[in-house]
Structure 1
Amino acid sequence: MITRRTLTLAALSLGLAKIATANAAAYPAKPIRFVVPFPAGGSTDVGARLIAESLSRTFGQQVYVENKSGANGTVGVEEAARSPPDGYTILFTIDAVASNPHVFHTRVDPSKDLLPIIQVSRQPIVLAAHPSLGVNSLAELIALAKKQPGLPYATGSGLGSPQHMAVQWFAQIAGIKLEQVPYRGGGPAINDLLGGHVKLGALGSTPLISHYRAGTLRLLAQTSQARSSSLPDVPTFEEQGIKGLVLDQWLGVFAPVGVAPAIVELLNREIGKALADPAVRKSFLDSAQEPVGGTPEAFAELVREDYAKFGRLVKDLNIKAE
């Protein structure tokens, strides 16, 4: 029996659906905020600004970057996840979003609290050395670390980040001990590495590429399966005998749960177009990032796979929050 209450609820649901559809159709009607959970100057910030600039032209609305760093990126991630699901706050982050929950008591589960929109790019994590350290290869670094256990190394993100895991994975295989010095982003980390305040660093390739080309830093190894086209002279970890160590770092775009599917589809489509644009693509490649693109479903699958992989690595490497 159809009651008046049933009819009222049905009408309300239909009305809300029409409002959501109308809002999505008018989107974007105001500026869009990209939340980047790391400081300016690192690969996440660089990638976000490239996409924001392209979308601003496409939409005729400002798309701007707001850097919200802290707690290994969790501050910005939590702010974005808790924002109104209207499509005007979008998270632009790295794969630490899939590793942090295994180390910290975060309030964001990427599989439940975020909607994957698109994978933007991938790049290797690169182990770099200041010339004064006096090493030119992993073999030389291993020999030095065995004489000087606990050599410090900088990362652009904190405990349990992919950069941290990559180095600890290497150290475990090589039988050496290295000590992490975490920074709040690639920009601050690269500054101290260039100044020789810390003489070893594990970072995404973006903040390192110009210094590699200038010869001011030595790049010892990269974590990709094959050599990046941006770093053709830098051998992989596997090439140097560290078998199985493959760990690309990716950038991706997420929305809070509840954003209308039409908005997710629009953002996926337009960011994909931006990544295919020759000028934008060249900018990414010049910053040592390989543009990717693809569907929300493909990106969601990558997030699930990496979430599981990082869980295994945290356990295998005995990484625990202090």
Structure 2
Amino acid sequence: MTRLLAALVLCAASLHALAQPYPAKPIKLVVGYPPGGSGDFLSRLAADELGKELGVPVVVENKPGAAGNIAHEFVARSSPDGYTVLNAAPMAVNRALYQHLTYDPDKDFAAVTRIATGPTLVCVNNSVPVKDLRELIAYAKQNPGKLFHASAGAGSAPHLAAVLFESVAGVKFTHVQFKGGGPATQSLLAGDTQVNFATAPTVMGFVRAGRIRALAVSSGHASPAVPGIPGAEEAGLPGYDFTFWFGLFVPAGTPAAASRRPTCATKSRCREWMRRPRRRPRRSTPRSRGRPAIGRSWCATPARRWIDLPPVTQWLLVANVAIYLLEGTGMLPAEAFALWPPGGFESRFEPWQLVTYSFLHANTAHIFFNMLALYMFGGEIERLFGSRFYTQYYFAAVISAALCHLVVTALLGAPQVPMVGASGGIYGLLLAYGIYFPHRRVILLFPPIPMPARVFVFGFAAIELLLGITQTAAGVAHFAHLGGMLGGWLMIQYRRRGFPFRM
């Protein structure tokens, strides 16, 4: 009888708990960094605002270490009741940085909303003899490995921003890890480290006080969140673009109602903050994205960046493969495009036919080269330009190659050669890669010699010019390739300065 009564009491208590509206008790907001950094600052800001909106206390709990992995594991193993929330930067990249994660970034968490996003700042200690980004790059090249850069840990936003900077600029720093942005900034102030790719909320007070110098923001152009500091492209480093974000997560299996309330509360508070500019977070943009499907997409994007190709590059690769297979089986004879007048490869083409034929025709050597170049260079350029401008850029190079081909054949009286348009588009991509990623290492197949992308691309251009001059009939194709580079160069000037023509 006693056991029966105890069971009934337990069931009644459980039903009462289930009937309680969420939230019914304080919420714990866990952050993987110590006080003093942007993660802690944004967590306390979010806790204050969410507490006002939800009507219960939201308590921040710091669990620093291992670039946030200690906090990630703690929340992943917590009860999925909505009362333990994680504030974290991108977790998906940790798969590439740590061999043995004790949690799965995709399966162990449910994304609630993103609360802030912004660029990092390239900061230096006042003792470093540089005044701008160009001087920093030159100084780092003269002193490889002698500049120490502080980060909030392996995989943190400052660390990833520094790694990308090293890759694009062709320099090398010595990495010094700390448990968070606050200790990293203190080391920069003390002069123990010389460079810090810091999140803006962590260092803007010291920048305004003149204790450290901010040379640029890590986005391509200046950010309205940090006025007066140039963007990386404007400061002399095109191709460098890095932003960080922080988002709220709950353990997988958390009821939808428990994750929906923080989402709605965050969106409501963000709208109010955007109406009151003076109260925006220090140099970060409040941001809320609340639908679960969208949350999963922005969580996974950093991990997919170097795996998945952007859409236009994918379509170009598919088109090249499909046309190669159709030609190989005889279902798409090359002569089908030689419509005016008939005669196959040596016929004279109308300009529109030449562009179409040049884009579609392929043979084994060209299909391999085109696919390899698209895979190696096209995806990076599309991520840099965006799909729309990338499409315009590619076809501008195709058309420029075809027009250059027409002019050269008219001047030399040589027969027209197919394939120049598609190859011209590829050469346009090579030029963009050499300009925007000049220090990336590229390996030639024969012989396998690694070299900077700038040397690779402009060496290619010199070879094309030499072959074009020494060969009359076949040389028109080499001039067409240079025409593709010319078209790409004009488009880059348009993107940088805005020529007086419209797309």
When the two structures are superposed, what TM-score results if normalisation uses the length of structure 2?
0.55
Where does structure 1 differ by over 6 angstroms across 4 or more consecutive aligned residues? 19-22
C-alpha distance in structure 1 between counterparts of 2:275 and 2:28, whole Å: 20
CA contact (8 A) 1:73 1:157 kept: no
CA drift at 1:263: 1.1
C-alpha distance in structure 2 between counterparts of 1:51 and 1:124, whole Å: 19
Aligned residue for 1:80?
A: 75
What is the correspondence of 1:1-322 to structure 2 with a 5 Å cutoff? 23=18, 26-95=21-90, 97-104=91-98, 105-278=100-273, 282=277, 285-296=280-291, 297-309=293-305
CA contact (8 A) 1:154 1:181 kept: yes
Q: Give SS of 1:176's match.
A: coil
CA drift at 1:157: 2.1
> Are residues 32 and 311 of structure 1, via their aligned partners in 2, closer, same or farther at CA, if it must alter by over 3 Å?
farther
> Are residues 20 and 34 of structure 1, via their aligned partners in 2, closer, same or farther at CA, if it must alter by over 3 Å?
farther
> Are residues 211 and 66 of structure 1, via their aligned partners in 2, closer, same or farther at CA, if it must alter by over 3 Å?
same
C-alpha distance in structure 2 between counterparts of 1:310 and 1:283, whole Å: 38
Larger Rg: 2
CA contact (8 A) 1:275 1:281 kept: no
- Which shows bigger deviation, 273-282 or 45-54? 273-282
> Are residues 20 and 87 of structure 1, via their aligned partners in 2, closer, same or farther at CA, if it must alter by over 3 Å?
farther
C-alpha distance in structure 1 between counterparts of 2:110 and 2:78, whole Å: 13
Structure 1: gaps spanning 5 or more residues? 1-15
C-alpha distance in structure 1 between counterparts of 2:219 and 2:229, whole Å: 11
Aligned residue for 2:323?
A: none
Q: Deviations over 1:83-139 (max 9, x none)?
A: 0000110001112x1221211021222221110000101011111011111211111
CA drift at 1:240: 3.0
CA drift at 1:251: 0.7
CA drift at 1:311: 6.5
Q: Give SS of 2:239's match.
A: coil
AA in 2 matched with 1:99: V
Q: Give SS of 1:133's match.
A: coil
Tell me the percent identity.
33
Query: What RMSD, in angstroms, separates the aligned Cα atoms of the two structures?
Result: 2.6
- Which shows bigger deviation, 44-53 or 280-289? 280-289
> Are residues 286 and 28 of structure 1, via their aligned partners in 2, closer, same or farther at CA, if it must alter by over 3 Å?
closer
C-alpha distance in structure 2 between counterparts of 1:90 and 1:269, whole Å: 15
CA drift at 1:253: 0.2
Higher relative contact order (CA 8 A, sep 6+): 1
CA drift at 1:162: 3.3
Q: Give SS of 2:147's match.
A: strand
> Are residues 170 and 275 of structure 1, via their aligned partners in 2, closer, same or farther at CA, if it must alter by over 3 Å?
same
CA drift at 1:284: 6.4
C-alpha distance in structure 2 between counterparts of 1:48 and 1:280, whole Å: 21
The structure in which a higher percent of residues are helix is: 2
CA drift at 1:207: 0.7
Equivalenced residue count is 297
Q: Give SS of 2:192's match.
A: coil
- Which shows bigger deviation, 80-89 or 151-160? 151-160
- Which shows bigger deviation, 138-147 or 86-95? 138-147
Aligned residue for 1:6?
A: none
AA in 2 matched with 1:153: F
The structure in which a higher percent of residues are strand is: 1
AA in 2 matched with 1:119: R
Structure 2: gaps spanning 5 or more residues? 1-10, 309-379, 381-439, 442-503
AA in 1 matched with 2:298: L
